[in-house]
Structure 1
């Protein structure tokens, strides 16, 4: 235990200020002299030992009868040694401003009040399994890679693994640097008041797997400049959040991964830049199995890597011409409605030929063939009352599917497409029936058939005979009364009978579908 006599004059000043919660300000008043980047050169007149701060927080200085809230308040100081408070129960707020820490800060497993280290330089902050009744404020601070030590075995700068912060985690304008590891390791973090990272700069991976962010995650204008070794800039796998705001200049030079993330409100990338990993080997945005209400992907420019939305579910999708890269994974992606941004205005997507063609081209960006994206788009068109566009989508689905079939199946598919549009264009059957009727009438009218039984039946009528061949139900008395001795004409009769069955069935199906809709 430190005694009062062992303290320097500066440490005695802090010791005496602690019960009253007074701040000790050691700044000299000049920009050059108070620049934190040069804090390693500050001499004894601005240096406080970390063990003195720890002793105060652990009860070495009595605070009875002080008439104020005891707290550490230190401005413009150099902290020498490791501030080791692992496992401690701390009942006093801690405030550091514009300070230089020679070594890291260990709060692992501690229970404490608000911890504020703003505008400072810290070589690693370990706060795993810590419970903070208040906020963790690192506004404008630089947190660098902490050395591997007895209290930290991984390469990271800021560790909040399984921590619980009842207030907000403030990282606005902070710089987190761990190029070979995790700049922020927050797996299992519970942040009731939200995580605020506006204009934050990161070198390394931000890892928040399974985090519970009931107050949301806000990363407007944040720059994730260099991903971790795996090419991941931000990992939020299986996290639960109220909102994810990665907008207004948010830039990620690595994969943004929202795999299995559940968001009760909106996920927005409005005006963001998603560059993907620098080596181009991974996706720019991976949202497999993500769940959200609003999903805003109106980016500043198209992503340089793929976007993977397989199995994601959103109520509203917002997109624009800048939203999609060359490759988009859409299998299993479910959405309730689509809103588009054009000329700076956001509105409900409308069904018109050019917009439908745009949506179909969007689906074709997905590698291979999958029916679900087409069925999902058709379902949305039906709900919006655009049945014609829904049929167009499903027809395109069949044409895309045809490319994955064997040669005989492709031939049959081309026949169905040409004749009846796979059943989605039944009026084509009527056109073909008309063409075949005219053809049969012309060919049969130029030739003379043989009567089946002499002297019986109506005279030969080419038009009626052709219709008798094409209409498979009932009979008009011509087909049974006349036959052809010419093999080619007899073959034409058989062809008309076959097409009659196919085309008439398609027409009946189309009429039935129309009557059911009315």
Structure 2
């Protein structure tokens, strides 16, 4: 060991307490997560004098072995209510001891890039940012309750026992408040009651014991509040209770091997999407925000095991093209057809097909037919004039084949009209001596059928305006028959 550096009285206390890991208290502080993020962090630390000041160089020297540890105890740097002057910088080093700072004020950003460390706890502290990309923490990193006026950068970092930012307030100095791209976090990532101004970057991150954002506030209006493309979460991703995001929540391509639960408030009308969940996989998705999401929501091309939602909070603009699911849960089973019509880009057939398939698997055959009918009606609006006219005729006549009883209703109505009219205005017999007695019912029935059944149509000839009625009945009969055949063919045809 080298010569002991020249130390102030406050630094000497820390130096002597290091071998046993005792706390050194240089002032009274309030610790613990309060109702307001970062409220316990010191606000006047820049006014603290020498009696409460420790040079960052002394702390880094202790962490890197400048003081013998001795035996029979676990050495550590544990400091409370101190002002840390200078920059705490350890780059690429191996830190064998815990660093615990509570209620401290740091003049400059912390730099721990590419370090291998034990647990680091910077709780209820105030400091201007943390740069720790590539660090390896054989324990956990806690910034709980702190007020950080700069970006926290932990990209490519690994945390064996978790990343804790409960009650942390971060005001990023650029686009990001928390940059953790490709980070690996075991034992959970916690942002409960956190308040972040700027985005969270978690692209390619792996969170092996859940991601918890209860009561968190994410503020990045007009931009992405959370960017987590291709993120993998084991267990649960929870945005519940008082969770609020002003900005887009983007989890494109993420994989949630458990439950994704969204019950808070999301507002991002001025970005392309407010909630971007396309190409995602989740065993269970609970999409029950406290109010309808303000902005476009996309679940396009995602795969969900069980989807829970609530019609009262369905977003006005919802993209479902390519979404597949095994089960739908929640109220409004009969209103699901409305649910699949909310694509802001217009008609897409796949959401209807997926919903109809689910209705069938759930035993709701009638709702499945209603869904297919709704799909054909929606498709009609995208077709040309001729196709729209034919489609409308099929719809009115037989409900595109999904309502064949309509054909029977029209047939009965036309049969009744013809029977009454021809009973009052009987046509003349073509061969009076050979013709049977005229029967208005049989005559009308023959007119409506493409192939006569009673032989009345060939033996009698209507006159005057009833002749036009006869022609109309013949045409109507062919239309009904064609519509029935077309509808049956559509139903029986194998889906493409």
1:256-292 Cα distance to aligned partner (Å, 9 max, x none):
111111101111112x111226xx3443211111211
Q: Supply the distance in 1 between the matched residues of 2:67 and 2:21 (Cα, whole angstroms).
A: 13
Q: 1:496 to 1:48 in 2, by over 3 A?
A: closer
User: Are 2:255 and 1:253 equivalent residues in the alignment?
Assistant: no
Number of residue equivalences: 479
| Residues 249/507 of structure 1: CA separation in 2 closer, same or farther (3 Å cut) | closer
449 and 501 in structure 1: CA distance in 2 versus 1, 3 angstrom threshold: farther
Q: Do the aligned residues in 1 keep the contact of 2:394 with 2:487 (CA within 8 Å)?
A: no
Q: 1:369 to 1:303 in 2, by over 3 A?
A: same
Deviations 1:382-402 (A, max 9, x none): 222121122222212222211
Partner of 1:377: 355
Partner of 1:26: 26
Q: 1:448 aligns with which of 427, 432, 435?
A: 427
1:366 aligns with 2:343: yes
Give the distance between the partners of 1:423 and 1:411, measured in 2 at CA: 16
- Alpha-carbon deviation of 1:29? 7.1
CA distance in 2, matches of 1:77, 1:173: 20
Identify the match of residue 212 of structure 1 among 206, 209, 214: 206
1:244 correspondence with 2:237:
yes
The CA deviation at 1:459 is 4.9
Are residue 15 (structure 1) and residue 9 (structure 2) matched? Answer: no
Find 1:191's aligned residue among 185, 193, 196: 185
CA RMSD of aligned residues (A): 2.7
1:47 corresponds in structure 2 to 53
Deviations 1:413-443 (A, max 9, x none): 1111111011111100111111222233344
CA contact (8 A) 1:471 1:504 kept: no
Question: Take 1:97 and 1:105, find their aligned partners in 2: how far apart are those partners?
Answer: 15
Instruction: Provide the C-alpha distance between the structure 1 equivalents of 2:85 and 2:332, rounded to a whole number of angstroms.
Output: 64
Q: 1:123 to 1:369 in 2, by over 3 A?
A: same
Give the TM-score taking structure 1 as reference length. 0.85
Which consecutive residues of structure 2, in runs of 5 or more, have no partner in the other structure? 32-39
Q: Matched residue of 2:390: which SS?
A: helix
* Residue of 138, 162, 176 corresponding to 1:133: 138
Unaligned runs of 5+ in 1: 146-156, 341-348, 514-518
Q: Report which structure shows greater RCO (CA 8 Å, sep ≥6).
A: 2
Within-5 A mapping of 1:20-419: 20-28=20-28, 36-63=42-69, 65-145=70-150, 157-178=151-172, 180-224=174-218, 226-227=219-220, 231-242=223-234, 243-270=236-263, 272-276=264-268, 280-340=270-330, 349=331, 351=333, 356=334, 358-367=335-344, 368-419=346-397
Distance 1:27 1:298 in 2: 46
Contact 1:179 1:227 in 2 (8 A): no
The equivalent residue for 2:481 is: 501
Q: Helix, strand or coil for the counterpart of 1:227? A: strand
- 8 Å Cα contact 1:483-1:490 kept in structure 2: no
Answer whether contact 1:231 1:282 (CA < 8 A) is retained.
no
Residues in 1 aligned to 2:176 and 2:216: alpha-carbon distance in whole angstroms: 16
